[in-house]
Structure 1
Amino acid sequence: MSDLRLMAVHAHPDDESSKGAATMARYAASGNPVRVVTCTGGERGDILNPRLAEDPHILADLPDYRRKEMAAAASALGIEQVWLGFVDSGLPEGDPLPPLPEGCFALQPLETTVGALVRQIREFRPHVMTCYNELGGYPHPDHIMVHKVSMAAYEAAADPEAYPEAGEPWAVQKLYYDVSFSADRIRALHEAMDSRGLVSPFAEWLDGRPGRPERVPTARISCADYFPQRDDALRAHATQIDPDGFFFMVPRDIEAEVWPYEEFEVARSRIPAEAGEGLEQDLFAGVVPEGLDVTALVEYGSGPERPAGEDSA
């Protein structure tokens, strides 16, 4: 078993299965310990699968049901998973937007949420972390909070003076943003389906893209062999994922042919980039297995910064 460890921070149960799941399954199958930190229990989520919308057992205790779904998804991916212990903020709708519920994750003080994640980092000691970009990947308050908490915890976990009660300091060497829904990916899948005379689910989505800025991936992980594990994890979240819905509309043989990878954007790095041009092929490229000396850390830059309010994929 490799001692190179990957941690992925997510907002709700099911996020891990739609963002970077095949990459996690690939690393786990190679013997790399992989831990998903789920910040909330998804308590305020809706039942999105019409087959289960009126199921009395689910309606009686949706949070407990989602915990069981998460356990099944983690098993499908071959990873471990922990709960950070905060309450889902829900997705506010309306004009004007209603206030967020009292006590929810997005309203927690950063001192509390960052401290909880620092404890996980120092316990698991990941070499690499993944999270969401500054817009949350999409503007859900919990996703935006995950970004804030992850960025702050990346810094604080390596600081001996920060959260001393949370364990011995540990320096994560690289932090990546997930780039699951890039325009390049959606366009490639759309064109492949269109060329085969199949109805693409992405035409309307692409019509709304012109002029929007795109994320710039810096790593591309080949993981088509692990699409079956990803799909099993998606199906495990039965209340959230319709097996006849969006995530399963592209035939898997077409996806494996035209887009057999997942992409990430480096946000922070404490190790120098490896020589050479092009996208990284391994999130662990260049990492120091034994870890870094926290008394002599150097920051080697980050991915492109974007002003708040710009679009993201």
Structure 2
Amino acid sequence: MRIADRSKATGAPVDKFGNQLCALTVHAHPDDEASKGAPTFARYAEMGVRTVLVCCTGGEVGDVNNPALKEPGMPFHGLDSVAERKLLAEMRPKELEKSVEVIGFSKLHMLGYFDSGMADSDSNANPKCFHMADIDEATERLVKIIRLEKPQVIVTYSDDQRGYLHPDHLKVHDVSILAFERAGDASWYKNAGPVWQPLKMYYSVWSRVRLKSVHEAMLRLRGSSPFDETWFDRPNLDHRITTKLNVGEYFWARSGALKAHATQVDLNEPFWFGLSDDELAEVYPYEDWILADHHIGGYSPTASGLETDLFAGVRAE
């Protein structure tokens, strides 16, 4: 399995003040970092950028989505629901570690909350779950990490999640927004370390043009597509995209990180692996982002077209 090679970097790129470039991404569960942004972060890792992953929960109440692991001789064969859940909770941190290695993250921080599960499930009422966490307490935990790691760029989930209303994903957005503002404000969280103001905050987005391109390629090359009309009924956020990164050479990070999460990903599932890395790179070699907020005076992200770098306006000339 290929992993990000930081030795390819010729040096540590810096911002206009001489600080090493750092990007921090916030995710809800183990495996989210694999499906959203893995190629982008692998690319930056190999460029020498410090890359940090914050995972808010341990994914304890997920399901075993890989039927191969329930076959005779495999870890989940014959287990009842209680034993299955216990083993799953033990395996998911190890899977996350493998994914982190593939993508090349410099550091993994666990925010320390329990998986909330889907809306209205019993686990939603668990006082230790992320969904139930006090918003200021959760924000302070994230601010402490931001002040420690000093990222110029923060990546989080969109303010429009109508396509997937998972309580933990909604909470990631809410906490990230507050942390972006409060990390640089000395009046907040005086015991969370010296203040640090991130300069840019991005939302991840699966663009409609990407969805359409992959769907049409699946029909052409495989004869069917997992993307039915419900996918095209989801909100189209393409008009908000400010940033398009060509990461076609790094799709191995996505597929490798997904495979690291063996309990969560079925290798025969066309949703994840319907196209090879090379085919996907030919069809749509980009990851798209929305610049949600920034603290760069006079900066306009689309003044000369879409950004091609999350550190545009930040990177030393």
Match of 2:273 among 242, 248, 255: 248
Determine if the alignment matches structure 1 residue 105 to structure 2 residue 122.
no
Residue 288 (structure 1) shift: 5.7
2:17 aligned partner: none
Determine if the alignment matches structure 1 residue 155 to structure 2 residue 172.
no
Q: How do residues 1-313 of structure 1 correspond to structure 2 at under 5 angstroms?
A: 1-2=12-13, 3-53=20-70, 54-55=76-77, 59-79=85-105, 80-92=107-119, 100-136=125-161, 138-179=164-205, 181-196=206-221, 198-206=223-231, 208-209=233-234, 212-215=235-238, 216-245=240-269, 246-271=271-296, 272-273=299-300, 276-287=303-314
- Asked whether the 8 Å contact 1:49–1:238 carries over to 2, the reply is yes
Residue 207 (structure 1) shift: 5.4
- Over the aligned positions, Cα root-mean-square deviation in angstroms equals 2.1
TM-score by length of 2: 0.84
- Asked whether the 8 Å contact 1:58–1:65 carries over to 2, the reply is no
What whole-Å deviation, never above 9, does each CA across 1:285-306 have from its counterpart, x for those lacking one? 01166xxxxxxxxxxxxxxxxx
| Aligned residue-pair number | 284
Structure 1, unmatched stretches of 5+, are 290-313
Q: CA 1:213 to 1:100, structure 2 compared with 1: closer, same or farther past 3 Å?
A: farther
- Asked whether the 8 Å contact 1:133–1:178 carries over to 2, the reply is yes
Residue 93 (structure 1) shift: 5.1
Worse-superposed segment, 83-92 or 188-197: 188-197
Q: 1:253 and 1:24 mapped to 2: Cα distance? A: 18
Residue 134 (structure 1) shift: 1.9
Q: CA 1:19 to 1:207, structure 2 compared with 1: closer, same or farther past 3 Å?
A: closer
Q: CA 1:249 to 1:87, structure 2 compared with 1: closer, same or farther past 3 Å?
A: same
- Asked whether the 8 Å contact 2:255–2:277 carries over to 1, the reply is no
Structure 1 counterpart of 2:314, one-letter code: V
Q: 2:218 and 2:255 mapped to 1: Cα distance? A: 19
Q: 1:37 and 1:60 mapped to 2: Cα distance? A: 23
Residue 90 (structure 1) shift: 0.7
TM-score by length of 1: 0.85
- Asked whether the 8 Å contact 2:67–2:266 carries over to 1, the reply is yes
Q: 1:274 and 1:183 mapped to 2: Cα distance? A: 21
- The share of aligned pairs that are identical, in percent, is 40
- Asked whether the 8 Å contact 1:119–1:166 carries over to 2, the reply is yes
